[in-house]
Amino acid sequence: MNFDLSDEHKAFREAVRGFAQRHLRDGALRRAHDSEHPWDVAKLMARQGLLGITIPERDGGQGGSLMDAVIAIEAISEFCPRSADVVQAGNFGAIRVLAEYGTDDQKRRYLQRLLAGEGVICVAMTEAEAGSAVTDLKTSATPDGAGYRINGEKVFTTHGPYANVMLTYARFGPGVGGIGSVLIERGAEGVKQGRPSMFLNGEEWVTTWFDNAYVGPENVVLKEGGFKKQIAGFNVERIGNTARSLAFGRYAYETARQWAMQRRQFGRLLCEFQGLQWKFAEMKVKLDAGQLLLYRAAANADRGFPSAEETAIAKAYCNQAGFDCCNEAMQIMGGMGYTQETLVEYCFRKCRGWMIAGGSLEILKNRIAEGIFERQFSQRPPRNADA
Ligand SMILES: Cc1cc2nc3c(=O)[nH]c(=O)nc-3n(C[C@H](O)[C@H](O)[C@H](O)COP(=O)(O)OP(=O)(O)OC[C@H]3O[C@@H](n4cnc5c(N)ncnc54)[C@H](O)[C@@H]3O)c2cc1C
């Protein structure tokens, strides 16, 4: 067993670090407080080969592994946490589902633009009454000629206000087996969006309504029976979310470490107080442990999709560890940590969101428990509960 990155991975990490240092370090603070998508960064990353890292070369990607994409997120986050969102959007989310299950025609019409950093695809899954219980979603796809009419409402969609295309989960029939997904352009007829609202992390989301929006057969990604495949693809999204949690926790830790080595109180450096040293020791243990869980899930996935169980374990741990490190870093930095003079408060706000998004901590723990006991535990009331 080797706990080190391979020479190839190390070289890749250094190359991405160099890129981030040259192009992204300046302006990191400004970018973090701008709710606009950083399109300039996306185009720069496209030229650098940092979008579509895991997507096959025949589809315009780099043909790399999930581990490469995780390393890219880590290296970018070191210098500009906000830019790590661009790595996420260009590698981990709905883009990966499109690359895996989309037709050649869909890839030609949408993927190329995404890989050029000129567009973003979002995943519209959550509904007001279907959050953790996502399989309760009601957005319907009703046959109309060769295509479908989409009716329903989606909430909390990251990138929703500016994405050019939405990977929309819709119901073709009853039950889990009836769920599939379609590509809907944001500006299409029958698509309406509400006023943007803001998450704590500074990102905007909107409610999107589909009112008899027509989707031709050419825009169906997965028909009924596609839900399991979608969730397999969604585990890739979860790995990106996991990697950012840990990387942002590490960013906050490193900021606080530098602070503790130069800030004096009572005539001593902060790093000389044992009460703070123990905080650093606990943070370091969490970051190292999280790193191993994240790399296990990513390395075992190689080019394919990561295992649901390893992903759930890594995400549950790293979401909490990342948040705890940001929280402690803020405490160590006192008033300064609570201001917008550094990115610690930004990392704190971002990490808090990932404990809910992409499968909340509780839902992940439910999944882990299923692995432990080798059985499924229905979260629904017994059928005759009201009888
Ligand atoms: C920052 C952010 C970005 C997001 N981006 C997107 C996106 O791009 N696309 C998209 O479709 N959605 C997105 N979401 C929505 C996200 O997927 C949901 O918020 C999440 O699934 C939880 O659903 P909910 O908010 O309805 O909470 P609820 O499902 O109402 O849950 C409320 C609480 O109850 C707990 N809970 C629920 N069921 C159980 C159970 N069985 N056992 C134990 N505890 C339980 C939950 O863990 C949570 O703590 C985003 C959310 C956030 C915060």
- What residue's CA is closest to ligand 1, atom 12? 126
The dihedrals phi and psi of 358, each to the nearest 5 degrees, come to 70, 25
Torsion of CA 356, 358, 367, 152, to 10 degrees: 100
Span 312-333, average pLDDT: 98
Q: Is the pLDDT of residue 387 over 60?
A: no
Query: What is the percent of the chain with per-residue pLDDT over 90, rounded to a whole number?
Result: 95
CA angle 365, 371, 376 (to 5 degrees): 85
Distance 19 CA to ligand 1 centre (A): 35
- What residue's CA is closest to ligand 1, atom 16? 357
Binned at pLDDT 50, 70 and 90, residue 385 comes out as low
Q: What is the pLDDT of residues 325-355, one digit of tens each?
A: 999 999 999 999 999 999 999 999 999 999 9
Strand, coil or helix: 129:
coil
Span 255-284, average pLDDT: 98
Distance of alpha carbon 230 from alpha carbon 101, whole angstroms: 9
Q: What is the pLDDT of residues 230-239, one digit of tens each?
A: 999 999 999 9
| pLDDT score recorded for residue 35 | 85
| pLDDT score recorded for residue 93 | 85
The runs of H, that is alpha helices, within 129-226 are none
Distance 357 CA to ligand 1 centre (A): 6
222 is written with which tokens? 């997965």
Tell me the residue ranges of DSSP E strands in 85-133. 121-124
| pLDDT score recorded for residue 312 | 98
Q: Is the CB of residue 235 less than 8 Å from the CB of residue 309?
A: no
Span 267-276, average pLDDT: 98
Who lines ligand 1 at CB under 6 A?
122-126, 131-132, 156-158, 199, 201, 353, 356-357, 360, 362-363, 366, 379
Q: What is the pLDDT of residues 150-203, one digit of tens each?
A: 999 999 999 999 999 999 999 999 999 999 999 999 999 999 999 999 999 999
162 is written with which tokens? 């500016």
Distance of alpha carbon 76 from alpha carbon 51, whole angstroms: 13
Ligand 1 pocket test, pick from 356, 363, 366, 370 with the greatest ligand atom count within 8 Å of Cβ, gives 356
Distance 131 CA to ligand 1 centre (A): 5
pTM to 2 decimal places? 0.97
- List, as one string, the DSSP characters of 249-278: HHHHHHHHHHHHTT-EETTEEGGG-HHHHH
- What residue's CA is closest to ligand 1, atom 4? 357
| pLDDT score recorded for residue 386 | 58
- What residue's CA is closest to ligand 1, atom 1? 353
- What residue's CA is closest to ligand 1, atom 9? 157
Tell me the residue ranges of DSSP E strands in the chain. 121-124, 140-144, 147-154, 165-171, 179-185, 191-193, 197-198, 204-205, 208-215, 220-222, 264-265, 268-269
Distance 259 CA to ligand 1 centre (A): 35
Q: What is the pLDDT of residues 196-223, one digit of tens each?
A: 999 999 999 999 999 999 999 999 999 9
Closest ligand 1 atom, CA of 133? 29
Distance of alpha carbon 289 from alpha carbon 55, whole angstroms: 29
Query: What is the percent of the chain with per-residue pLDDT over 70, rounded to a whole number?
Result: 99
Find all residues with CB under 8 Å of 369, minimum gap 6, and list them: 377
Distance 58 CA to ligand 1 centre (A): 36
What b/e string do you get for 313-328 counting C-beta neighbours within 10 Å, with b at 16 or more?
bbbbbbbbbbbbbbbb
